[in-house]
Amino acid sequence: MTRNPYQDDRGNKDRTITNVKGMGTLDPIRDGAATAKPAANGQFLIGEDMTGGYGMGADILHDCTIAVEKGEIAVIVGPNGAGKSTAMRAVFGMLNLRQGAVRLDGHDITGLTPQARVAHGMAFVPQTSNIFTSLTVEENLEMGAFLRRDDIDRTMEQVFELFPVLKDKRRQMAGELSGGQRQQVAVGRALMTEPQVLMLDEPTAGVSPIVMDELFDRIIEVARTGISILMVEQNARQALGIADKGFVLVQGRNRYTDTGQALLADPEVRRSFLGG
Ligand SMILES: Nc1ncnc2c1ncn2[C@@H]1O[C@H](COP(=O)(O)OP(=O)(O)OP(=O)(O)O)[C@@H](O)[C@H]1O
Ligand SMILES: [Mg+2]
């Protein structure tokens, strides 16, 4: 391998969002079914009090709030089936909400299509099927920029700086890459839209611990450029370790919300969600 260690296999997901500066306060309420939500004011991106489900089916999300501030990393964790991916879809406009609103940089975007959200600076990397396997790496990145009318070469160079292995393999079919490399393609493709918010649903699924650490380092780098990161992660402990803010979801509801460090230090959270 090259010095870039993304080498496991797995799909990617990607999504990006837009804008603002957030100063939400966290009010963790630590009991049973209690909720813990950030204040709406000042969040760059917030899906607030979201209630809804798929089609005519029962509600999956119940009064669920997810938010991220400018340039920060927010991580959603919780058991399988908790509604983490559903919450991401709701924020990206892929779910009809019965209640609640999504705001980006202070603007209500609840009624916008996912495509319109991309145009407003949101990018989303979904949990699965997040790359075009029969296109080359370079073509995948170009697809990411299809909405742009300006010169995309500079952005592609930035993606290659972030993920050097993709430059080496730019003429290869994305489907031939390792899982970790595919995740890099998916994240890179999302970055090609020059998003203000990058939404990632389990970006490290199926990759080795080393590859996971490396990918987290790259995600931190992205956040330092001012892009907000909203990410679902099954590697909860490690993800909360790099999170400015963490959301623990259970059965479509907010269970705990706090800084990543506070959640990691909370005995109840540790016992129930982090394996002790
Ligand atoms: N497309 C869909 N249509 C109908 N129900 C769905 C759909 N996708 C998910 N669900 C249901 O919504 C609930 C939440 O699923 P979701 O995928 O959001 O959970 P998750 O927290 O992302 O789980 P995982 O950790 O396994 O990825 C589950 O009961 C699931 O069966
Ligand atoms: Mg999921």
Q: Which atom of ligand 1 is nearest to the CA of 79?
A: 25
Ligand 1 site residues, Cβ closer than 6 angstroms? 54, 57, 60, 78, 80-86
Q: Is the pLDDT of residue 14 over 50?
A: no
Would 67 be classed as within a structural domain? yes
Enclosing domain of residue 24: 14-259
Going by CA atoms, what residue is nearest to atom 14 of ligand 1?
83
Over residues 249-275, the pLDDT tens digits come to: 999 999 999 999 999 999 999 999 998
pLDDT at 4: 36
pLDDT at 230: 98
pLDDT bucket at 40, cuts 50 / 70 / 90: low
Best mutation site among 66, 75, 86 for ligand 1, i.e. most ligand atoms within 8 A of its Cβ? Answer: 86
Q: Which atom of ligand 1 is nearest to the CA of 232?
A: 22
Average pLDDT over residues 213-238: 96
Would 271 be classed as within a structural domain? no
Q: Which atom of ligand 1 is nearest to the CA of 78?
A: 21
Would 270 be classed as within a structural domain? no
- DSSP code for 175: G
Q: How far apart are CA 146 and CA 127, in angstroms?
A: 21
pLDDT at 104: 97
pLDDT bucket at 36, cuts 50 / 70 / 90: low
Would 168 be classed as within a structural domain? yes
**Mean pLDDT of all residues belonging to the chain:** 87
Going by CA atoms, what residue is nearest to atom 17 of ligand 1?
85
Over residues 109-124, the pLDDT tens digits come to: 999 999 999 999 999 9
pLDDT bucket at 39, cuts 50 / 70 / 90: low
**Dihedral angle of Cα 161, 164, 167, 169, to the nearest 10 degrees:** -160
Would 7 be classed as within a structural domain? no
46's tokens? 């917030």
Task: Please indicate whether residue 2 or residue 264 has the higher confidence score (pLDDT).
Answer: 264
CATH of the domain at 25: 3.40.50.300
Over residues 133-171, the pLDDT tens digits come to: 999 999 999 999 988 888 899 999 999 999 999 999 999
What SS3 class is residue 224?
A: helix
Task: Please indicate whether residue 125 or residue 11 has the higher confidence score (pLDDT).
Answer: 125
Q: Is the pLDDT of residue 35 over 80?
A: no
What SS3 class is residue 100?
A: strand
Would 186 be classed as within a structural domain? yes
pLDDT at 245: 97
* Global confidence as pTM: 0.86
pLDDT bucket at 26, cuts 50 / 70 / 90: very low
Task: Please indicate whether residue 87 or residue 10 has the higher confidence score (pLDDT).
Answer: 87
Would 192 be classed as within a structural domain? yes
Would 148 be classed as within a structural domain? yes
* β-pair partners for 246: 75, 258
- Report the domain count for the chain: 1
Best mutation site among 10, 13, 54, 60 for ligand 1, i.e. most ligand atoms within 8 A of its Cβ? Answer: 60
Q: Which atom of ligand 1 is nearest to the CA of 87?
A: 18
